Structure 1
């Protein structure tokens, strides 16, 4: 696969997440993953295989009322192999409240995904972000400003 082909699989995944778990062809997001794939999500842990990945997406996705990734500002990093990294921003609504990258600057909405893609399937996806989308977990961080 070329870097651009891997990038197209990663974009299809992100757009499917924005579309409630449905790809551009109408297939479920899980169709983008190998049967033995791994997905890591903070505060959830490591999901291995389709069943656990489905549970992760259902549980995390079930907390989101909507999400929109900001595709125009993605920063792509290619390794020349099966791995690619994408940094980006998003906004949306979590069951605990809305978020938008940069509002506040320390809040949720900035993320980094590390993909390993072979044979047009995601083999491994490690997601790095702050899962406190609504910014409620502030008492434990004394460097954060007082709420206004």
Structure 2
């Protein structure tokens, strides 16, 4: 007998994505106290700039540990999120954040070219994140300016 699964609505997928983002603001713990990794399928994939592609919960935990070790705090700006729904399992969230990185603080728009603007592309099925590709500038403190002529001058 085949399993019968009901498709999720866009709002249900959005609620999983929000729980994921709020989990980062809460130090890697979901609103019910579970680890952030509980939101992921066993074979999920996460891609983060300058880290690469993590496949499966063990690699995702390593990615989150590596990146998380550089961030003291983060706050996402939920009121200004832009959600894009595909009508399928994929949804996109574009947003801003601020926080403290080991190299210094960041806030979206300060400076305008700096970190804090991001876009996440999610694939969510059966109440689990199957895939999230994260698009952002991982130079949170804005120190990598010498390689960019338009930034090197100040």
Q: How high is the TM-score relative to the length of structure 2?
A: 0.94
For residues 50-70 of structure 1, the C-alpha deviation after alignment (integer angstroms, 9 at most, x for no partner) is 000000001101100000000
Q: Equivalent of 1:42, from 15, 24, 49?
A: 49
Q: How does 1:1-148 map to 2 (within 5 A)?
A: 1-144=8-151, 146-147=153-154
- Greater Rg by CA: 2
- For 2:39 and 2:63, how far apart are their aligned partners in 1? 15
What's the offset of the Cα at 1:144?
1.4
Q: What secondary structure sits across from 1:104 in the alignment?
A: coil
Aligned residues: 147
For residues 68-100 of structure 1, the C-alpha deviation after alignment (integer angstroms, 9 at most, x for no partner) is 000000000000000000000000000000000
Q: What secondary structure sits across from 2:110 in the alignment?
A: coil
Q: How high is the TM-score relative to the length of structure 1?
A: 0.98
CA RMSD of aligned residues (A): 0.6
Q: Return 5+ residue gaps in structure 2 as ranges.
A: 1-7
- For 2:44 and 2:140, how far apart are their aligned partners in 1? 26
Q: Is the 8 A contact 2:146 2:152 kept in 1?
A: no
Q: Return 5+ residue gaps in structure 1 as ranges.
A: none
- For 1:146 and 1:99, how far apart are their aligned partners in 2? 20
